Structure 1
């Protein structure tokens, strides 16, 4: 064993030689060590350096891990940016809706929901982008920022994971310890040493320099130095031999530490802990004492970490407990519904559609609820206004839907049927009705009297089976135009059986309903006929006047004073 000791020391020191001259700061906690390397390099070269020593560029998967890296930068008094293990390969696009914005950890694993972007990364799909960490300072609160991976930075952060850690190596006397870590860093500033670390002790006063190696796991769990120490032994009379409670020495024996009743030696073989190893609680969660050790447990929503003491959050969203969207939180999760839905069921895991149409004034006219939203519509006879939800009236009369006149009104139309037709029940068409004669009904109260054309106004009532007729001519009087032929004028109106008359009020229900309209047609027709007769009479008068002007005698001349005597026959008895 003594012959192998120098060889073991040489193997453990080889990685340290690879970092010769490099300024490295180390922080070890739980089951991982983080290093800050002050060496200018591109992102690719920094990742290769970390991988050569058994790690990767540091990920930041939780707030606790972010706090450790900030502590490391603060201890090193580093205020500049340093590469992280977060990158976006070329050909992949930035995803603004994701926590990591489409980037991924070079160490692999789930991306997680934790993010700490100080500024949004550049929106690109064609160039590789890598993330760096800047500590808080005068420039701002710090956080992640992206940049081109080929641009060098003055520092980078690495992470190395291990099964467990050993505490500080106990020393009985004065001395110094130099730790050579498995990831190639030699330092004397370690609060915990990872499994496989070699500790070289330099005791005051010279003499042999002892070595110790962090080994484990032990039978009761955890990791411890071998030999356990304390190193640099001194007599129990000096500083109690480096022991916390009792120091025992005997003839021919090296000093050793012991504890009072109720306490036992800790893994460093110098300090003492209560026999109930759960007081104080060495676990992050709950602790259950066992013979020779303890067992750690975690609260619901957390799982026991690899070191057997810590607790890590469980991502319940991986099992898909929510109907729509799931957000993982420390120790649990939250369900969220998409817009247009509301949470329902236990813990709001299900989502029910929201009926937007139940809200007042959701739409101007009609509202149609659809899953997650709603749609506005218009009643028949209206159409949507382009670019809005308001409804405009449709003028159906522009499409010639009626055989005759058409009247448009908001939301519909109606046909105005000509005489002889009956409007349909819905008002959108006309049907043939009973035949109505073209003669114009006349009564003393309807037909106006014209002074220049005297006319008989009496109408002899007749039964429906007879056709009354009476006529009178226009008499010649001093006020009439000379030479004008008398114009016959019919004052009685033939009446067809079943035809309604103004004074009798008889007829079917259909005629009664259309009576006012038919009466208007008759009045208009009577006026048109009278105007035509009057125009004809005026034209005839004008023609006769022109004829009379042409027949006037010519003007008198001088010859008009002479009388023409007929030639007398010569007397036969007269001779010359």
Structure 2
């Protein structure tokens, strides 16, 4: 195993000497951020970061945004630089979301943090990428979108690691150059990621020394191997590079030690309290580090300027909610106005509530509108003043029909006078088929005596007819006719109903509402009265005929006398012909037979 260590150091040295570029680096916690000054478009910049094991830098929190600002400030960079935020082609910009529909190339949850300097262009067809603009005379800085094919003079990368090593301890003067695993060399690192190779040039003129950040160690954490301090001198020079005590034993190199209550840190030069985080000096979390500790805060809080306290982050400043945002300690809450309900990821959006889906929301019709609803009435109804109920509209008050009108809930229908037909919708009348006059007017009844004009014909075709000898009655008289009335019976024209009975005529159909409503009823009275009159006349005629027949049967034959023995032959006119003569002969023979009969 010991023979492999020099080989490992040699391979790292070769890799470091063969590659690497000068770039600004900032390492903190378990990630390193780099600024590359190279003209490229967004896709080329992402490929460069991927080749070294990282991605274009995301900004998922206020602390991460602060690290990137420190990196740009230490590099003195005032221009824009590509970030790892992009909107693919075919995706739409969504102004109501914190990231506006964009996504981080590194993946993961989108988060609620955003820092837009200007709103992105609304599009669904073109790819858009985001650049970080440092603060300056043009404004406070922030994110700005642009076409992904355009080029920028710089881009930012992020590389994540399992852990970090602190500064490499030196016993004497020397210069340290760090070669990071992501191909960047730097002489200014506050922490070096796992796998970093450090080359030390001592001022004493000795050969270069090398150390590698290794880990995790048995007790946890990461440390340099060899632990240092490098560029050794005796304990009389700068205390041998030790923080507290330097032990110089004969025949052994100098080594560091700590006072009671402290322990030697992983760099083998610094000293830490046995438990630097107990009691906890931080308001939030505490993490021991070589030579001290590091404070952290829970999500929703940011580390205060003193490095120990935590202050609440007002997430509502980034506009994460669609409607209203209420900041609470450590987070925020999205609120929806009345008529909306929370929806979407984490309830950041608001959807309209369909109040019409609730039973009995309205008495008749319900119309849903954004944030509310409105009740309406069906045709034929109207809203009750000051209420939600629906009242029936009496359409007949507007006199919509040519004749009578009948109102019902939600509508109306026209009652058409005889001789006209109701329209298909029931809201009007049209003239019906003309009734042919099948009974010719008799000359025995003059036209001047008619009390009902021929134009007011309303009698259906089923009416009977009077025998020819009784005279004809015009159809307009409305009197049913029967053929069973004897010839001697004649119905005078005065039996027609006069106009004073209120029978509707063609000229009075739309005169007034009273006549329009009473016309059919008066016509019915007229027909029934005519039928009753005819039936009475018919009964009277039948009774008269029956009485005459009964009287004829009651008459007795006269008594026989002597003249009955003789046959009386009536005189026949000569014009009766031969048939009459034969009758006479027969009669004579009868009489002869009678005479021959002996008398008793």
Shorter-chain TM-score: which interval?
0.5 to 0.7
1:2 deviation in Å? Answer: 5.6
The separation in 1 between residues aligned to 2:202 and 2:241, in whole angstroms, is 13
What's 1:150 paired with? 149
The alpha carbon displacement at 1:143 in A equals 1.0
Equivalent-residue separation in structure 2 for 1:117 and 1:298 (angstroms): 24
**By how many angstroms is 1:286 displaced?**
3.8
> What is the CA distance between 1:202 and its match in structure 2?
1.1
**Residue correspondence of structure 1 range 110-125 to structure 2 within 5 A:** 110-125=109-124
Aligned partner of 1:174 in structure 2 is 173
Shift of 1:82: 0.5
Which of 399-408 and 26-35 deviates more? 399-408
Shift of 1:46: 1.0
Secondary structure at 2:48 match in 1 = helix
Q: 1:400 to 1:84 in 2, by over 3 A?
A: same
Distance in 2 between residues matched to 1:208 and 1:60, nearest whole Å: 43
Partner of 2:250: 251
Are 1:191 and 2:163 an aligned pair? no
Residues 43, 130 of structure 1: 8 Å contact kept: yes
User: Secondary structure at 1:139's aligned position in 2?
Assistant: coil
**Does the 8 Å CA contact 1:14/1:184 hold for their aligned counterparts?**
no
Query: What's the secondary structure of 1:375's corresponding residue?
Result: strand
Map of 1:227 onto structure 2: 226
- 2:281 and 2:36 map into 1 onto residues whose CA distance is 32
Could you report, residue by residue, the CA deviation over 1:234-293 in whole angstroms, capped at 9, with x for unpaired residues? 21112221212111111111111111111111112112111124247598944599xxx9
The answer to whether 1:60 aligns with 2:59 is: yes
SS across alignment from 1:202:
strand
CA contact (8 A) 2:23 2:36 kept: yes
Listed one character per residue, the Cα deviations across residues 444-486 of structure 1 (whole Å, up to 9, x for unaligned) are xxxxxxxxxxxxxxxxxxxxxxxxxxxxxxxxxxxxxxxxxxx
1:146-545 superposed matches below 5 A? 146-279=145-278, 281=280, 285-286=284-285, 331-332=330-331, 334=333, 336-337=335-336, 339-341=338-340, 373-378=372-377, 396-397=395-396, 404=403
Show the counterpart of 1:5.
6
Gaps of 5+ in 2: 302-309, 313-322, 357-361, 418-500, 502-513, 516-600
Corresponding residue SS for 2:40 = coil
2:84–2:106 CA contact under 8 A, matched in 1: yes
Distance (whole Å) between structure 2 residues aligned to residue 353 and residue 150 of structure 1: 39
Q: Is contact 1:16-1:186 (8 Å) kept? A: no
Deviations 1:354-405 (A, max 9, x none): 9999xxxxx9x99969796221325985669xxxx9x999782487566758
Q: CA, structure 1 residues 367+374, in 2 after alignment: closer, same or farther (shift >3 Å)?
A: farther
Residue 31 of structure 1 is matched in structure 2 by 30
Query: Cα distance, 1:153 vs. partner?
Result: 0.7
Please tell me whether the aligned partners of residues 367 and 376 of structure 2 are also in contact (alpha carbons under 8 angstroms).
no
Counterparts of 1:142 and 1:44, CA distance in 2: 23
Query: Take 1:190 and 1:99, find their aligned partners in 2: how far apart are those partners?
Result: 34
Q: For residues 84 and 116 of structure 2, what CA distance do their matches in structure 1 show?
A: 14
| Equivalent in the alignment of 1:131 | 130
CA contact (8 A) 1:93 1:123 kept: yes
**Aligned-partner Cα distance in 1 for 2:18–2:54:** 17
Against the structure 1 CA distance between its residues 370 and 154, is the aligned structure 2 distance closer, same or farther, given a 3 Å change threshold? closer
Take 2:44 and 2:261, find their aligned partners in 1: how far apart are those partners?
55
Matched, 1:69 2:74: no
Aligned residue pairs, count: 393
Q: Which has the higher helix share?
A: 2
- Asked whether the equivalents of residues 174 and 204 of structure 1 are also in contact (C-alpha less than 8 Å), the reply is yes
Match of 1:524 in 2: none
The alpha-carbon deviation at position 12 of structure 1 amounts to: 5.1
Counterparts of 1:271 and 1:179, CA distance in 2: 20
In the aligned structure 2, how far is the partner of 1:17 from the partner of 1:169? 23
Asked if the contact 1:43/1:152 (under 8 Å) is kept, the reply is: yes
- Aligned position for 1:533: none
Residues 367 and 374 in structure 1, CA contact (< 8 A), matched pair in contact too: no
> Is contact 1:15–1:185 with CA below 8 Å preserved after alignment?
no
Deviation per residue, 1:68-126 (Å, 9 max, x gap): 11110111010101011112222222222222222222222222222212112222222
Where does residue 472 of structure 1 map in the other structure? none
CA contact (8 A) 1:130 1:148 kept: yes
- 1:325 to partner: Cα distance: 11
- Give the conservation status (yes or no) of the 8 Å contact 1:9–1:198: no
What is the TM-score when the length of structure 1 is the normalising length?
0.56
Gaps of 5+ in 1: 303-310, 314-323, 358-362, 419-495, 497-516, 519-576
Q: Write the distance in 1 (CA, Å) between the matches of 2:352 and 2:94.
A: 28
Residue 204 of structure 2 contacts residue 231 of structure 2 at CA under 8 Å; is this kept in 1?
Answer: no
Q: 8 Å contact 2:20–2:179 — kept in the other structure?
A: no
Task: Report if the CA contact (8 A) 1:88-1:130 is conserved.
Answer: yes
Specify whether residues 406 and 400 from structure 1 end up closer, same or farther in structure 2 by C-alpha distance, changes over 3 A only.
same
TM-score (norm 2): 0.54
Q: Give the CA deviation at 1:166.
A: 0.5
Q: CA RMSD in A?
A: 5.2
Shift of 1:222: 1.1
Q: Secondary structure at the match of 2:69?
A: helix
The aligned residue for residue 316 of structure 1 is none
Contact 1:16/1:185 (8 A) holds in 2: no
Find the aligned partners of 2:106 and 2:327 in 1 and give their Cα distance: 21
Question: Secondary structure at the residue paired with 1:33?
Answer: strand
> 1:452 is matched with which residue?
none
